[in-house]
Amino acid sequence: MAAWAVRAGVITSKALSYVSGPSLRMLMTEPEAPTFDAKSLLATLTDLPGVYRMVDGADNVLYVGKAKNLKKRVASYFRDSHPSPRIALMVAQIARVETTVTRSEAEALLLENNLIKSLSPRYNILFRDDKSYPYIVLTHDRSPRLGFFRGATDRRADYFGPFPSSPAVRESIHLLQKMFRLRTCENPVFNNRSRPCLLYQIKRCSGPCVGLIEPERYAEDVQMAVLFLQGRQQDVIGRLSAAMDQAAGKLAFEQAAVYRDQIQSLRQVQEKQYVDSGKGGDLDIVAAVGDGGMLCVNLAMVRGGRHLGDRPQFPANSVDSSPLEVLTAFLYQHYLAHPIPERIVVNLPLVDGEPADWLSDMAGRPVRLVEARLTMQRVWIEMAEQNARLAITARRSALSRQEARLEALCKTLGLETEGELRIECFDISHTQGESTVAACVVYQGSGMRNSEYRRFNIRDIQPGDDCAAMRQAVQRRYEKLVIGAGLAPALILIDGGSGQVGAAAAALAELGLLHLPLLGVAKGEARKPGLETLVFADGREPLQLAPEHPALHLIQEIRDEAHRFAVSGHRARRGKAGRTSRLEEIMGVGPKRRKALISRFGGLQGITDAGIDQLTAVAGVSRELAEKIYAALH
């Protein structure tokens, strides 16, 4: 790869002619700078594919784009008129254009998306979809396990999906349990059962753990489940019907009744699935909708011919963008990180074949990117568009409510209202002083910033000393601010009373950050919501807002999220300590033997319940070591 950079000024008279109204008034307030020489820039550019970056006079990246032909694409920005005021405003701020040549357009697209995610340019449409989609997993064990899965897939299991939401996965697992009775328990539990569990009693599992079903029969049920997940319901019904007739011919009427119930369940599923395509296969429905200045892309998923639900997504930096621009940006960004189905149905005509060609290259197989033409496809698109409009309405209502809460909070506490208000909230969680975890959550821009949450494992304090834990957490969180790293919050919330507020204030004073506003949220009588008392660090009298006060509602929302995040971190740390800590104290039990013991017995309690002879059955555990483990745990 090669790269060139051209440096010049910020504003030209021609660029100013692109802009009018408020945008022009905003630009006129900028100081004058050397004129940007577009002709000199274009003379240095190549006709090769690559990525270009528009940069302003303060070295902020304004826009990142890709091009088949860098010279033609960049030249299109410096013409006499622009269809979009947003692009005209961006061009008026350009100080230089940096380019990077790539070997192909596909490579340029990958680089473009990596730069967009890392730089977050002001004028790029950006989808922040950092949640992984859930799957149904079927393991490759001797008796395969059916389960919920989220994360990176591998070859040790078969994965079906992705699904748009966790409820969609759990509903499908419930159906599969009802129809095919596959096990859902983890291997440590499955390998150590001596009698069937409750799921067997309620006919949601066939009991392979204790041999209540023959391996061949269980394998047939697994195959049926796979066919169902692939959308081949008619094949499943045909096989079950043949098996039912065969069982009835052998006078095995109880088994025939089981097959009959499975067939009825399958037909009920087909009847309820009113948006079933009648064909197998996977496809996505993508609809971009604009309403009242707000844009939404709704992604609906069809897997195995069954409509599984949808997920609306809202792009950032999309002011003055068209639904088509947003749709195109979504296709490129979403399918870089998520599986590409066989077909993608969109609600708007795309300008050229670029997205389809790129999707096919990425998937390694043909991908059809089409508008809705068939009746069922049009129904799906109409549903996706309607759900997108409903999501816009709900988001507009939520934003309005959050704005009212923010305004009330700023008025109550006397906070500055310029820019996006950043609030950080701390909470401490432990069990009788053990496995103490502090959590910090961030609220900014009318919503929680999950990617900026942080947890701190608290050490070297007196167990149960919440004040010391809070002081350590606040100090560790803001020590980077002293050297100019990180963002300073407009308000720090502490889930606690005067003691914890005082500890947090002491940590801020030690760091020289006592000017940051600090507020404690003390729980009311019987910990009832609405009875909280606000505790100030500057000596003001505590304040108790009315239960219906919008500022209190915002504080409660952020406080509750901090509590949830702290508790989940504490439970994870406590669970890990409970599984391993006592084993680590036993001489001769290293990481490999600990892992073998936990895999064999399912955890510390299972190891404790095991006898010496059972312990010696674990690879690497001699009788002498087994006696030592048994003595240490009893």
- Average confidence (pLDDT) per 10 residues, the chain, 634 residues: 34 35 40 62 86 88 88 85 77 87 81 82 77 82 89 80 79 81 87 86 88 89 82 71 76 73 61 44 87 88 76 84 88 84 88 76 85 82 89 85 88 80 93 88 87 90 90 93 86 92 93 92 77 87 89 92 92 69 74 81 77 85 86 78
* Contact yes or no for 441/561 (Cβ under 8 A): yes
Answer whether the bond into residue 162 is a cis peptide, omega within 30°: yes
Outline where DSSP puts E strands in 444-496.
Answer: 454-457, 491-494
Contacts of 113 (CB under 8 A, 6+ apart): 332, 333, 336
Cβ atoms of residues 179 and 262 within 8 Å: yes
**18 contact partners, CB below 8 Å, separation of at least 6:** 81, 82, 85, 88, 89, 91, 92
Give the distance, in angstroms, between the CA of residue 430 and the centroid of all CA atoms in the same chain. Answer: 27
Separation of first and last alpha carbons in the chain: 65
Nearest CA among 124, 126, 127 for reference residue 90: 124
Give the CA count within 13 Å in the CB-facing half-sphere of 581: 8
Q: Encode 286-318: b = buried (16+ Cβ within 10 Å), e = exposed.
A: bbbbbeeebbbbbbbbbbbbbbbebbbbbbebb
**Cβ(347)–Cβ(290) under 8 Å?**
no
Give the Cα separation of 345 and 351 in Å (integer): 15
- The structural domains of the chain, ordered by start, are 3-119 (3.40.1440.10), 134-272 (no CATH), 284-393 (3.30.420.340), 423-574 (3.30.420.340), 585-633 (1.10.150.20)
Q: How far is the C-alpha of 286 from the C-alpha of 289, rounded, in Å?
A: 10
Inter-residue contact 456 to 476 (CB < 8 Å): yes
Q: Note the helical H segments in 250-374.
A: 253-272, 323-337, 354-363
**Alpha-carbon span 200 to 192, nearest angstrom:** 16
- Size of the chain in residues: 634
Q: Which of 54, 50, 65, 52 is nearest to 106 (CA)?
A: 50
DSSP secondary structure letter of residue 279? S
The order of strands in the sheet holding 96-101 is: 3-7, 96-101, 50-55, 61-67
State the greatest distance between any 2 C-alpha atoms of the chain, in Å, as a whole number. Answer: 94
Please report the beta strands in 329-402, taking only residues with DSSP state E, as ranges in sequence order.
Answer: 343-346, 368-371
* List of residues 6+ apart from 261 with CB closer than 8 A: none
In the structure encoding, which two tokens stand for residue 477, read together? 């969180």
Residue 489's pLDDT is what? Answer: 92
Residue with tokens 């792009």: 315
**What is the CB neighbour count within 10 angstroms for residue 365?**
10
CB distance 428 to 330 below 8 Å: no
The one-letter amino acid code at 167 reads P
Question: How do strand 491-494 and strand 518-522 relate by DSSP bridges?
Answer: parallel
Q: Is 304 left (phi over 0), alpha (psi -120 to 50) or beta?
A: left
Q: Output DSSP code: residue 581.
A: H
Task: Compute, in degrees rounded to 10, the torsion defined by CA atoms 208, 212, 216, 222.
Answer: -40
Q: Tokens in use for 398?
A: 């939520």
Q: How many Cβ atoms from other residues are within 10 Å of residue 547's Cβ?
A: 14
Q: Give this prediction's pTM.
A: 0.61
pLDDT at 23: 39
Q: What is the pLDDT of residue 423?
A: 93
